[in-house]
A and B are shown apart, each in its own frame.
Chain A
């Protein structure tokens, strides 16, 4: 027998488990990366005010007593609506505290000076554009108008967060446990409150 041949045949293969293992592991990881959430990091500028309004003061704007439909579209980022984007909802949670929403509506949406946001009663509509309208336009019993004070994208993010307080959002999008003292269940664990048919706001006269 040819010695070279023997050497080749008897040459023990160096075991290469490492390479196979690496391939085996990296494939699922690569596939999992396909669902990575897109984030829009810049907040697109909103329309400027026509003229400077009453300086330094929030006051409710013109209102309608019936639920209002907003015609502007829900900002869509790479095919994801703001209610499907966990980053957007977490930014909404940030604005909820920053702009003192939690001061009137309580940290977990339980309500205080303002009505609760975590239950099934919606005075001015429960759909996302309607909540955006309530935030931007203000409402007659004391909800301030935030138009021109926050950008529209911030309002959409805030509205998405508000809806998460009553469990309307998917649990992989809604927020987890807060670092705050504990305002009830984390949003992602809240049972979805089925909104009641839109009721009239509290009558005054």
Chain B
């Protein structure tokens, strides 16, 4: 039997799908993978309330412009690369196990392809440089927000809530609130950012980009909200068990409405007149509440939990986790871990009438 001398065999084609099938499958996976994004739950204040694509101020607008440019350029590049990939796959020669390797290509060279690749590389480089320039210009523009008559707010991030102190040249006009920021429309705001325990990040997409709050360091962020509305922000740096439950609500309102809100915030809590609310206040001050919470106008002046002086005026509780209302407040007080497992607030086994009294008192805190 004569032995046939086989030509040099390289490894046969790897087992796997055909190139075209592969290309088709990859494209399908890409599309399917992106689908869940569309199913993201809408933020509580309606469509667009936590949306970087619907800007409420100049900082967000600058960032959005840059992002659109990036999207355009990168999209074009992506499309071109995918097209080239698709073409390459489509025109790839089909072969079998016995097909001899294509050795001619590397030896012969492909001047046309080489020119194409060089041109594409050059275009990408130019495009990237352009993006760098655009990015630098955007940074500069972000830093140039005029700050005359700026509102000064000191934001301190805790696990897992936001503490805000509105500063004033007259110290007796400063006040504190938590989790819900009110800003005047059209007036620049200078945020001084601190963190109490771990790294957090401030992100209100409608208004501005992200800025980290790092313990031991002070950062500043300037922004201006031009469009009145309610916006939702959230912590954007993993900070522990309830990182996802640390929303910040920003209410942008016209100057007059903001000034009225600020004046209300400056006032200490009125002593309750209703006997049930008075009982609730006694429970508040004598129990665990006053160990962590503060209510201006009472002896409670602790700083480890949100300031409750004007709790009833807020839309949500627990950094956006729970809507504010009588029943929800009672449920939250009884068992906070049901809503925010890992929270530092202990549960309370109050008798029903005591819980009612406490909630009645808290509801007087407008």
Contacts and interface: CB of A to CB of B under 8 A. Distances in A.
Interface stretch (B25-33, B50-58, B255-263, B279-287): B279-287
Contacts of B216: 179
Interface in B261-284: 279, 281-283
Interface stretch (A49-57, A69-77, A107-115, A131-139): A49-57
Given A57-B299, A98-B304, A41 B287 contact: no
Contacts of A47: 349
B290 interface: yes
A44 B337 CA distance: 9
Contact of A56 (B241, B288, B298, B335): B298
Given A42-B347, A151-B347, A56 B290 contact: yes
The dominant DSSP class at the A interface is: loop
B349 A46 contact: yes
B137 interface: no
B12 to A, nearest CB: 9
B366 interface: no
Interface in A130-149: 148-149
A52 B286 contact: yes
Chain A's interface size range is 20 to 34
A42 B288 contact: no
Contact of A55 (B282, B342, B349): B282
Most buried by B among A39, A45, A53: A45
A91 B299 CA distance: 26
Interface in B202-225: 215-216
A99 B305 CA distance: 12
Contacts of A44: 347
A165 to B, nearest CB: 20
A41 B281 CA distance: 28
B18 interface: no
Interface residues of B, number: 34
A149 B354 contact: no
A150 B348 contact: no
B344 interface: yes
Interface string A84-100: 00000001001000110
B351 A148 contact: no
Contacts of B354: 48
Contacts of A151: 288, 346-347
A48 B291 contact: no
Interface string A24-60: 0000000000000001011111111100111111000
Most buried by B among A39, A47, A91, A98: A98
Contact of A42 (B298, B304, B335, B349): B335
B299 A56 contact: yes
Contact of A49 (B286, B304, B346): B286
A153 interface: yes
Contact of B346 (A48, A56, A153): A153
Contact of B286 (A41, A94, A148): A148
A52 B287 contact: yes
A166 interface: no
Nearest to B354: A48
Nearest to B280: A52
Contacts of A48: 348-351, 354
Contact of A45 (B11, B241, B344, B346): B346
A94 B292 CA distance: 12
Contact of B337 (A41, A55, A91, A154): A41
Interface in A146-205: 148-151, 153-154, 179
B196 to A, nearest CB: 11
B341 interface: yes
A58 to B, nearest CB: 9
A55 B346 contact: no
Interface of A: 12, 39, 41-49, 52-57, 91, 94, 98-99, 148-151, 153-154, 179
30 contacts: A12-B11, A41-B241, A41-B337, A42-B338, A42-B341, A42-B347, A43-B345, A43-B346, A44-B347, A45-B334, A45-B348, A48-B349, A49-B286, A49-B287, A52-B279, A52-B282, A52-B283, A52-B285, A52-B287, A55-B285, A56-B300, A91-B344, A149-B287, A149-B288, A150-B288, A150-B291, A150-B346, A151-B288, A151-B347, A179-B216
Given A56-B285, A98-B304, A148-B287, 5 more contacts: A43-B345, A49-B287, A55-B299, A56-B286, A151-B346
Q: Which 7 A-B pairs have the closest CB atoms?
A: A42-B337, A56-B299, A45-B347, A45-B349, A43-B346, A151-B346, A55-B285
